[in-house]
Amino acid sequence: MIPNGIGLRVVADVHGDARAFAHAAATDRFLIQLGDLTDYGPDSAAALRIMFSLIDRGTGLFLVGNHDLKLARALDGQSVRMDPALRNTLDQLDAPLRARVVDEVARAPAWLRWGDTLFVHGGFHTEMLERASPPVGLKRPEGAVARALYGAPTGKLLADGYPERSLDWVDRIPSGLTVYCGHDRRSTDGRPHIRQGASGGSVVFLDTGAGKGGHLSWIDLPLRLR
């Protein structure tokens, strides 16, 4: 899915910040977006169109995030929690874009392995080392796919109402593997947050709050010949 002999640009959660995403997409690198294209920011429709344009040109792909799946399920007529952010996104989408969202989310992967690197939205699971991600589809995810989209909720809520999430999975990343993910805003200084695990692996949390009062972050990875 990733072309050989080309550098990569890894882009974190966009959350409707289409202006920043347009800057990130203006590259000759292959772009991997880590999910959550929509909600919160001012122009989720434009963010989706930028991503789909990259897909059409063969210059990018996205991994499904929890907000992407929730949007697609809502468009498919399924019962989801209808919060203001989702309502705002739905109001922005015309009929062709609605159909495209459902198609692209249903067939997109939840994680992607690239040598000693793994890309995912929410969190790592050891099963990701053993097989490629199946298409996410439009059903409620389970197992490794659920971990990929939602991380590892503890069942508790934080003061802001968002679920508390465990980072125990970081300690199961094997030595030599780097995981790039979004979903949780772990950064305290506006830069991607790097955390080492007990097994020798590492994770780079790229979400720095785009669409939520922060900004969009991305990292360029060097060309790799396979």
Domains of the chain: 8-221 (3.60.21.10)
Task: Round to whole Å and give the CA distance between 144 and 90.
Answer: 28
Most confident of 19-23, 112-116, 182-186: 19-23
What is the rounded distance in angstroms from the CA atom of residue 10 to the CA atom of residue 32?
5
Quick one: tokens of 78? 């399924």
d(CA 73, CA 67): 10
d(CA 83, CA 68): 14
The answer to whether the CB of 136 falls within 8 A of the CB of 109 is yes
Contact 70, 114 (CB under 8 A): no
Q: What's at 142, amino acid-wise?
A: E
Dump pLDDT digits (tens) for 101-154.
Answer: 999 999 999 999 999 999 999 999 999 999 999 999 999 999 999 999 999 888
Position 163 scores a pLDDT of: 77
d(CA 131, CA 154): 26
> Which stretch of DSSP H or E encloses residue 147?
helix 143-150
pLDDT digits (tens, 9 = 90+) for 148-172: 999 988 888 877 677 788 899 999 9
pTM: 0.94
pLDDT score of 130: 93
Q: Strand (E) positions, the chain?
A: 8-11, 30-33, 60-62, 111-114, 117-120, 153-157, 163-165, 178-181, 193-196, 202-205, 218-221
Largest CA distance in the chain: 48
Q: How confident is the model at residue 224 (pLDDT cuts 50, 70, 90)?
A: low
pLDDT in tens, 42-89: 999 999 999 999 999 999 999 999 999 999 999 999 999 999 999 999
Strands (E), 50-133: 60-62, 111-114, 117-120
